[in-house]
Chain A
């Protein structure tokens, strides 16, 4: 770890990726993630074997990710909501071909062209298969700039470990805001474990084939079963969450990313008025921390989900909590960010 630097979320994510050994970055510009691409344009060429390429489109960029990831090199793309929608076909292919890769989504208001304000409307798209077929991404949701750097750095290890595309899901607020960051020390990608499946040239060995195509039904079924087995392993091992004051609170708030940090301030305001608000923050949106949430809800009356969307993660919360507690929802949409006092007002309706 080095000294603290004041960085934008977009910049911190880009630099963390380079330090994690990412050597291929392909993207097409879009607000509010433009500084990420800018940082890569400035700094990737300074790195040995670093490739920065502004693609002709988002579809081009994700296809370049497929190609570069096939060689086993650490590869990333980034965009914001409408751009991520364009990448969905490629993401399904990456999942089908089991290619380790990192996709960053700095979400903005939708649907459609929407606007450029912070939003969380892409939860469904990220966690429930935005593209076709039965697949999952590991989805990591940072709620601060330092955490955005940390999770991006780790996402490359997760991608390699499980041969899976990993999504870092943040929003315009995390992307645009500045906070002090202590960046991890850079790794040397040539020291990473070998990837015997990668297409690195057939000199002395049989060709490796990377594809997501299997004509026979039995054949494709067995590929799908293998994928599901892998997802089950990830569900068992990789769930992450943060808990604040969850021991016997008056109400438990479930929130991810930007909303979770606003909820921290709501918790502080609540304390002054004698209301004890606990916070449960899923860090992995997939796999979702369902068992722990179920366990917590045993002794609670109300589990309130707050999101910057019309109610998406709340479905996973309800599947976890079942009938153990009330599960109301409060959301802001269209790029509107809920304020701490608005969250506290909502809390008061339920305690």
Chain B
């Protein structure tokens, strides 16, 4: 596949960093080249955290992108910051639970999904990031739902959080369905 880059952005604590890591991990398990780059330092100002995950079948040069293929925006400041930078033909998956209105982004497809509502239905607010990731999978087709479930499972198990795999699997599925 061509280089596919995703910026994941939101409030600290929404699971933004882990979301990007799971994209990278899932891509790696699919045999792709991957990079994951967190923002650190002054970029934290304004309460947003973000990271960039790139997957590609070829060697990846720059881990920094000006114009990502896709954006997952967990909150409004993230959309404000990165929305207009998404490349032509790209996809923005946004959290309609926290973002009421959004501008049109020309040839960029906007996929609103209510991350928080769906997580609430699963009675676990911590899984909003996997709802987002499921929606991203459906909207972008960059990685399959199965690939992400595998990457998520491995990532959680390796950090001793295996008992949360089931609810996160459901969150991925629900998010995937919601992006229809």
* Interface residues of A, Cβ cutoff 8 Å to B: 4, 6, 31-32, 115-117, 172-173, 176-180, 261-268, 335, 337, 339-341
Contacts and interface: CB of A to CB of B under 8 A. Distances in A.
B21 A339 contact: no
B66 A339 contact: yes
B24 interface: yes
B66 A115 contact: no
B63 A116 contact: no
A268 B42 contact: no
A261 B61 contact: yes
A177 B36 contact: yes
Given A261-B60, A261-B62, A265-B61, 17 more contacts: A4-B28, A31-B41, A115-B41, A116-B41, A173-B37, A177-B35, A177-B63, A178-B21, A178-B24, A178-B36, A180-B28, A261-B61, A262-B64, A268-B61, A335-B41, A339-B64, A340-B61
The contact size tier of chain B is 20 to 34
Nearest to B28: A180
Interface in B30-45: 33-38, 40-42
B138 interface: no
Contacts of A32: 40-41
Interface of B: 21, 24-25, 28, 33-38, 40-42, 59-64, 66
User: What secondary structure prevails in chain B residues at the interface with A?
Assistant: mixed
Given A4-B28, A117-B41, A264 B35 contact: no
A57 B36 CA distance: 31
Contact of B40 (A176, A178, A262, A340): A176
Contacts of A265: 61-62
A47 to B, nearest CB: 20
A265 to B, nearest CB: 3
Nearest to B63: A177
A264 B66 contact: no
Contacts of A339: 62, 64, 66
Contacts of A6: 21, 24-25, 28, 34, 36
A176 B66 contact: no
Contacts of B33: 180
A261 B28 CA distance: 19
